[in-house]
Amino acid sequence: MKHDVASAWDIVKRAKDGIFLVVFTDQNGERKRLSTGVRTEREAYARAPQIVAGKTAKQVAKVEIEAVKEAAAEPSKIPVMTMNALFDHCEKTVWRNHRAMHTLRSNVRILRVICGDDLVTDMHYMRLEEVQEALFKRGGRKGQKRATPGTVKRKMDTLSKALATATRMQDADRKPILFAKPPMPTLEVHNLQDRVLNDREITAIFKVIEARHISQPGANWKRFGYFVRFLLDTACRKSEALMLDDSWIEERPDGLTFIHWPQYLPGVFDADGQPVPTLKNGKPKSLPASSAIKAMLPYLRMNAVGGRLFPQHKSTMDLKWVEVRKEVKKLGFNIDDVKFHTLRHTKITNLVKEGKELPKVSKFAGHSNIGITMKRYAHLSPTDLVGLVE
């Protein structure tokens, strides 16, 4: 059975007697194959972390026997931790100031349904495989029968971080809650956000939106067109544009206009009474407004609701985008794979290809650090190798 090459250990079955072995590299770099003493794969995965930590199969078996006896005599004294309890601990401590708390809690809420009642010590590889498959079967957005690998990976990453936390925790007797984090099932994720719109496709998109505005003047197509232009000019995420408030716009005497996203959403608090970050990276952001954005401000302000310049619900925007993609196809352009996030990726990609400085691009994109920008976009820069040739 093959697992992720980055896993700390693996399980193989010995042919001659059916006993499972745990295979791992010790701290000295020596490759070891130690018996788990059991012929059941599920039991082997449960014992493996302790054997990797230095115990023999006999020692593990002895502890198991003693634990059964002690549980029968005084079950209330046996310290156990469920995944729900572990999630509670993580949310109150190590995840308390997580930069994407809303997404994190959404992931945890789903994980609680699937494995919340499981004991932490029972979260071995086979059970993790079952959890991963259950996440796929929950389905995805827009009626998808199976969730996408990226969606499942984000939830499995949350589970992995919780288990890693358990390895640093101790029970009342100062014994580890979890001896070692089990290897996580492999999951290949193909990045679907590499799509970049070209100028002809962008022209076709605005042509379709303008035609809809003329044929359906009361359906807010003009504001939708401004929304698309705003995303293209600012490289903002959809959620960042939808929350835009008129009070965040600064028009300076020198003619420059800036958009300031605050660090926290004004007057919004989570269940623990903590302020909710406005942006994904939990930091404030300021961007200069393009001439197109400055030109659309009077109309947006006149039609604002409670100060919000784009007061539509995200589902309304999504439905309009589906209609636009259908109409653009009639013009000879297939943009079925284009999402609102593609507009953000298009802007950032073009900035890098134009040779803009990566630190400035990183700040414009709102990345939490330049390393993210480097990893994602540095290969596009046409000036990286300048100076290396005569």
Q: pLDDT tens digit string along 352-374?
A: 988 889 899 999 998 888 888 88
Residue 173 lies in a domain: no
Closest CA to 124 of 20, 206, 238: 20
Return the HEC string of 239-284. HHHHCCEHHHEEECCCCCEEEEECCEEEEEECCCCCEEECCCCCCC
Quote the pLDDT of residue 76. 44
Domain assignment present for residue 385? The answer is no
Q: Considering only residues 250 and 45, tell me which one the structure prediction assigns the higher pLDDT.
A: 250
Q: Is residue 215 part of a domain?
A: yes
How many independent structural domains does the chain possess?
A: 3
Between 365 and 41, residue with greater pLDDT: 365
The tokens of 129 are what? 């495989």
pLDDT digits (tens, 9 = 90+) for 122-137: 999 989 999 999 899 8
280 with 372, same domain?
yes
pLDDT, position 151:
85
Of 23-32, 296-305, 311-320, 354-363, minimum mean pLDDT range: 23-32
Q: So what's the pLDDT on residue 260? A: 95
Q: Are residues 104 and 220 in the same domain?
A: no
Q: Please say if the pLDDT value at position 147 is more than 80.
A: yes
Domain of residue 237, CATH code: 1.10.443.10
Same domain, 85 and 69: no
Q: Could you say which of 61, 76, 91 is where a domain stops? A: 76
Q: Could you tell me if 98 and 104 are in contact, meaning their C-beta atoms sit under 8 angstroms apart?
A: yes
Same domain flag for 131 and 228: no
Ranking 79-83, 139-143, 165-169 by mean pLDDT, the lowest is 139-143
Whether 230 and 373 map to the same domain: the answer is yes
Q: Kindly state the average pLDDT of the residues 232-260.
A: 95
What is the bridge-based pairing of β-strands 285-288 and 249-251? unpaired
For residue 251, pLDDT over 70 is answered with yes
Distance, in Å, from the CA atom of 9 to the CA atom of 21, rounded to the nearest integer, reads 10
Determine, yes or no, domain membership for 177. no
Both 341 and 203 in a single domain?
yes
Whether 153 and 87 share a structural domain? yes
Question: What mean pLDDT do residues 319-332 have?
Answer: 95
- On the 0-12 / 13-18 / 19+ scale of CB atoms within 10 A, 55 is middle
| Angle ∠(325,221,332) on CA atoms, nearest 5 | 25
Instruction: Tell me the mean pLDDT in the region 6-29.
Output: 78
Residue 341 located in a structural domain = yes
- Do the domain assignments include residue 322? yes
Q: What residues contact 366, with CB distance under 8 A and at least 6 apart? A: 235, 236, 240, 279, 280, 281, 283, 285
pLDDT attached to residue 388: 46
Q: Are 323 and 212 in contact (CB under 8 A)?
A: yes
| Pair (133, 204) in one structural domain | no
Residues 229, 306 within the same domain: yes
* Residue 76 dihedral angles phi and psi, to the nearest 5°: -70, -20
Q: Which of 76, 111, 130 is the last residue of a domain?
A: 76
Q: Does residue 133 share a domain with residue 241?
A: no
**Closest to 60 (Cα-Cα) out of 71, 49, 69, 70:** 49
Q: What is the signed CA dihedral for 36, 40, 45, 48, rounded to 10 degrees? A: 0
Residue 19 lies in a domain: yes
pLDDT band at 385 (very low <50, low <70, confident <90, very high): low
In this structure, the number of other CB atoms found within 10 A of the CB of residue 137 comes to: 12
Token reading at 382: 């046409």
Segments forming the whole domain that contains residue 87: 79-166
CB 225 within 8 A of CB 217: no
**CA-atom Rg of the chain in angstroms:** 27
The token duo for 357 is: 């400085």
Whether residues 372 and 305 share a domain: the answer is yes
Select from 187, 165, 186, 189 the least CA-distant residue to 177: 165
Residues 225 and 308 in one domain: yes
Q: Check the CA dihedral 104-106-111-113 and report its sign.
A: positive
| 8-state DSSP, 181 | P
